[in-house]
Amino acid sequence: MLCAIALVSCSPRVAGSAEPRGTPGQRSAAEPAVTPSVPAPSPSSQAACQQPTLLGTVITNGIVARVAPRPSARAIASFPKINAQGAQQVFDLREAVTGADGTLWYRALLPLRPNGTTGFVPSTSLRLTQTPYRLEVDRVRLRLTLWSGCRVIGRYQIGMGTADTPTPRGTFYLSSLMKPTTSTSVYGSYAFGLSAYSSAITDWRWGGMIGLHGTNDPASIGKRVSHGCIRMRNADIEHLARILPLGTPIEM
């Protein structure tokens, strides 16, 4: 969970852009990169890996998600252009729907409780991009796989939540990227905020938002010891921070 420790928002790579601003640190020799492998996609992953994910970044002062694709529909929630973690508000977009007035709307995955909530947002408030990347959590092997389309380009060992503070299940996305003000924090060198929320903790900063982050305790990698967040070696989270845009989906 992302609790009240000093974190500074930074600007990760935006889909379709060049290099990110705020370059992460170099990989440590003590924490080498996981050697990528390129197996054939499994039947369960093959369909999902063939299509890029459509992302919508808010370009107006704010946006309202509604229960139906029309301005008069009940509002689910409003979102500012910059979210609570200091990042541009982004959504993973599902199907496009034309409203009765001819306006194009998208059904979006929303960073809200309960996990998996969706709502309709107007295309006029969004800048559309795509990403070929997605992350997939193996809860049995405690492993995170990075896909680009149908190619596996990295596998990383991770730590996860305990039985009392479990890592939530579902499809979510990277909603923010923050850098702790100290390199020895419990979040290591970088922390992605996710659109997922804890089922066990609600009173921490940002309401129990789940994170994907580094760690100052590399011995905890490969174990179920967290409050629900996913932990990685610092070198590995630095690698992801260099290449993944906000909105990258993560299946947990």
Domain ranges of the chain: 28-51+132-251, 53-131
User: Domain 53-131 has what CATH class?
Assistant: mainly beta
pLDDT of 161-220, one tens digit each?
A: 999 999 999 999 999 999 998 878 899 999 999 999 998 666 666 568 999 999 999 999
The pair of three-digit structure tokens given for residue 97, joined into one six-digit string: 């729907």
pLDDT of 83-134, one tens digit each?
A: 999 999 999 999 999 998 899 999 999 999 999 999 999 999 999 999 999 9
Catalytic member of 49, 213, 227, 239: 213
Active site residue 227: no
Q: How many CA atoms lie within 13 A of 111 on its CB side?
A: 29
pLDDT of residue 133: 97
Catalytic member of 10, 49, 227, 229: 229
Active site residue 229: yes
pLDDT of residue 8: 63
Nearest 10 degrees: Cα torsion 29, 33, 35, 41 = 170
The stretch 12-35 carries a mean pLDDT of 36
pLDDT bucket at 56, cuts 50 / 70 / 90: very high
State the residue for tokens 């390129």.
Answer: 38
Residues of the chain with pLDDT > 70: what percent?
A: 77
Nearest to 116 by CA among 169, 77, 54, 48: 169
pLDDT of residue 203: 63
Q: What is the DSSP string of 84-122?
A: TTSSB-EEEEEEEEE-TTS-EEEEEE-S-SSTT-EEEEE
Region 28-51+132-251: CATH code: 2.40.440.10
2: how many CB neighbours lie within 10 A of its CB? 24
Cα of 84 vs its chain's centroid, Å? 15
28-51+132-251 shares its CATH topology with 53-131? no
108 or 1, which is more confident: 108
| Cβ-contact 166, 199 below 8 angstroms | yes
